[in-house]
Structure 1
Amino acid sequence: MTAIAGPLPESTAPRWWNRRGVRRLVWQVLLAAALVVAVGWLVGNVRQNLPRMGIEFGFDFLAQPAGFEIGENLIGYQPGQTIFRAYLAGMVNTIHVAALGIVLATILALVLALARLSPNWLLSKLAWAYIELFRNTPLLLQLLFLHITFAQVLPAPRQAWSPLPGVFLSNRGFMLPALVIEPVHLWVAAVFAAGLIGVWALQRWAGRRQAATGVRPRTGRAVLLLLVGLPLAVFVAGGAPLALDLPALRGFNFRGGHTMSPEFAAILFGLVLYSAAFMAETIRAGILGVRRGQIDAAQSLGLGRMLTLRLVVLPQAMRIIVPPLTSQYLSLTKSSSLAVAVGYPDLMRVYTVVTADTGRPIECIAVVVAVYLTLSLLTALAMNLYNRRIALVER
């Protein structure tokens, strides 16, 4: 018996309001409307009741002068500038810690994951002990331990340790040599950034050629020229200035160079050591998720262990690693708010001082929530775009 395909009779076709797409859109619109009404009711309730208690509501206080110091900031904030600039200084400090923490934690996590998978028994067990230790102790406890170590165990500046020439460790911080920035260095950085864009375009072109012809063009020399040759040529043409500002003991403290305060070192190292333990297990799980046959096939072609890892294992493992790694990046960014426990002037530290000075707790916490929400959404967006790029596409 043969079924006759064709449109459903008009009497049996679903009405427009019963179609799945229409129902989904209606429910989303209703949910969004309910959310807007709830937020509007909350804001209206707050604005109506706060004046009864003699409390003002608004964000005009951001333009008022701030009468407090932020001892360590990257934008040159000074007391007397606006509260908005103080918030900006705290936000930049938070981004500074989170960005450095993500990069360093990822590198350390990759090393730990490879050590866990190493056939060397001692190396594997040491990595396992590290991961278990840092995963099973509270982050706040680790931060306090590091802060006490850096601030009280290290010697005074006059007895500072110097493991390398120009590097000093004391309870005032870590003093490091700093490069004296010249205009040519900015040009070198700009040329290097342009080279990165050129390498990205070159690799896309090589990928298209490989898909069309089956042969991938050699791009090694062009990549070397873009990333090394051109920046080096600009550096030499600009006179090759390479002066270092070395820290030196003057009086009771060091002057010159770059100083990493004990508070910044405690929050940065704490976040890196703690987060890397979780990331390492994620990376190890992703590597183990690659089928053994892929590794055997690569080795049968003569690829060594490192080439097999770089060209075969990691590209496939990244499809497993990236989604949970995104959550750990977000967790690291939000955990940076614990910097207030060790005295580092991040966004939360500025929030507590501004709230005490202005008596505007609702507005102050709203600013903090908006900043952390924006940072989390931007991080998730970047990782989701990368995840979409490396995802398998069914054809």
Structure 2
Amino acid sequence: MQHRPTVTGNFSLTNPAVRAWLYQILAVVILVAFVGHLVHNTLTNLNHRGITSGFDFLNNAAGFGIVQHLTDFEQGDTYGRVFVVGLFNTLLVSALCIVFASILGFIIGLSRLSENWLLRKLSTLYIEIFRNIPPLLQIFFWYFAVLRNLPGPRQAVNAFDLAFLSNRGLYLPAPDAGSGAWATFLALLIAVALFRLQRRHQLKTGQLRRSWPWIIVLLVALPALAQFIAGPAIAWDVPQLRGFNFRGGMALIPELATLALSVYTSAFIAEVIRSGIQSVPFGQHEAARSLGLPNPVTLNKVILPQAMRVIVPPLTSQYLNIVKNSSLAAAIGYPDMVSLFAGSVLNQTGQAIETIAITMGVYLVISLAISLLMNIYNKHKALVER
């Protein structure tokens, strides 16, 4: 173990500890001077060109509409509201891609280890194709060759008059909180709390009770009673065809590059899953088989808990790549942070430094939050020496 040198007694330059501290102080001074020079030079150039700096422009009216927004937005809203819409759209595409890529990657990764020759070769072909094509090209392919060639709104694929798929996007019923939302939520919390108490009692006493019928009754009866007393918990806004497009509900436009990014990243996640499972010694498989455990139980209870310690670190990197690659959706017009703030807002206001700084800060905060959560999970799964 290397120890940091400390200054003791001799303060001459011949002392290695003194030189080490001087080099560090000098490096900090140079860094501060460099950053100060950049800030001063930037402010001077902005003043010479008559460009105002600051974030007051966020209170100005945007004057343009946004096709997809998860929160209320009107054409006369402020640039600050545009920021909120862009942030939510970025979080939406990132979250959907993380979920879909994880599920698809897990399935493909297990298929690569299958004893079925055809399934193993098809999964290998899938991985080698999609992970070696740039993600931007895959976005263009899925958008122009697949999604834009879907039928129009009048010939849309209809699912029980509730969901509609067309070249304008996927329209789904949108939930709205009803008068009994809080009562139903409280009833669900009570049901879950009773279930946890039952599980804790079972682990403490070792008594096996057939409690799942009662839990199902509680999960159904308590919310139903709450809705009967306080009113419905959710009111659904179902989309309807009006004119040339659907109105109402929730729309996922074709520019939402979930499919392309999910397919691209799932190829990498599949290899992460495969390598993590193969890192578990084969003796663990043999020990589980000797106990008569079926393959699904062996995978779920023996192999995966050990493999997750190897899977989580590279999986975190793939999740971060999803967040960063989501900015590529701006190439096909998806209204995320890059398209709205680093594009439309920058062009209208001319506040290049502020808009780019805000956009970079958003991606930095999202990535750091994902890293923090995955590191907490990784620490929870790590082996602890006792």
Pick the TM interval, shorter chain: 0.7 to 0.9
- Among 35, 53, 60, the alignment partner of 1:57 is 53
Gaps of 5+ in 1: 1-12
**1:157 aligned partner:** 153
Distance 1:379 1:21, change over 3 A: farther
Taking structure 2 as the reference length, the TM-score comes to 0.84
Distance 1:43 1:328, change over 3 A: same
Distance 1:153 1:24, change over 3 A: farther
CA contact (8 A) 1:187 1:234 kept: no
CA contact (8 A) 2:174 2:236 kept: yes
Distance 1:316 1:250, change over 3 A: same
Amino acid at match of 1:232: V
Secondary structure of 2:71's counterpart equals coil
Amino acid at match of 1:345: P
Amino acid at match of 1:357: Q
CA contact (8 A) 2:163 2:172 kept: yes
Amino acid at match of 1:300: S
Secondary structure of 1:169's counterpart equals strand
- Among 348, 356, 381, the alignment partner of 1:365 is 356
CA contact (8 A) 1:62 1:84 kept: yes
Matched, 1:253 2:249: no
Q: Distance in 2 between matches of 1:31 and 1:218?
A: 66
5 Å-filtered alignment, 1:290-305, equals 290-305=280-295
Q: Distance in 2 between matches of 1:309 and 1:372?
A: 35
Note the alpha carbon deviations across 1:151-170, whole angstroms, 9 max, x for none.
53111112223366533321
**2:40 aligned partner:** 44
**1:139 aligned partner:** 135
Amino acid at match of 2:295: R
Secondary structure of 1:239's counterpart equals helix
**1:236 aligned partner:** 224
CA contact (8 A) 1:113 1:284 kept: yes
Deviates more, 1:49-58 or 1:268-277: 49-58
Q: Distance in 2 between matches of 1:22 and 1:384?
A: 37
CA contact (8 A) 2:184 2:226 kept: no
Secondary structure of 2:255's counterpart equals helix
Distance 1:28 1:237, change over 3 A: farther
Deviates more, 1:56-65 or 1:366-375: 56-65
Amino acid at match of 1:156: G
**1:285 aligned partner:** 275
Q: Distance in 2 between matches of 1:84 and 1:223?
A: 50
Taking structure 1 as the reference length, the TM-score comes to 0.82
Deviates more, 1:298-307 or 1:147-156: 147-156
- Among 105, 111, 116, the alignment partner of 1:109 is 105
**2:120 aligned partner:** 124
Q: CA RMSD in A?
A: 3.6
CA contact (8 A) 1:168 1:175 kept: yes
Distance 1:101 1:392, change over 3 A: same
Deviates more, 1:138-147 or 1:317-326: 138-147
CA contact (8 A) 1:150 1:171 kept: no
Amino acid at match of 1:93: N
- What percent identity do the matched residue pairs reach? 44
The alignment of Structure 1 onto Structure 2 pairs a total of residues equal to 373
CA contact (8 A) 1:184 1:235 kept: no
- Among 168, 172, 183, the alignment partner of 1:172 is 168
Gaps of 5+ in 2: none
Aligned-pair CA distance for 1:138: 1.2
Deviates more, 1:371-380 or 1:194-203: 194-203
- Among 76, 83, 87, the alignment partner of 2:79 is 83
Deviates more, 1:46-55 or 1:170-179: 170-179
Aligned-pair CA distance for 1:25: 8.8
Deviates more, 1:285-294 or 1:66-75: 66-75
Aligned-pair CA distance for 1:149: 3.5
Aligned-pair CA distance for 1:41: 3.0
Note the alpha carbon deviations across 1:185-237, whole angstroms, 9 max, x for none.
4544566578779989998x79xx79xxxx97869948994xx5654333211
Amino acid at match of 2:299: L
Aligned-pair CA distance for 1:110: 0.8
**2:384 aligned partner:** 393
Secondary structure of 1:61's counterpart equals helix
Distance 1:180 1:355, change over 3 A: closer
Aligned-pair CA distance for 1:79: 1.9
Distance 1:275 1:14, change over 3 A: closer
Amino acid at match of 1:168: F
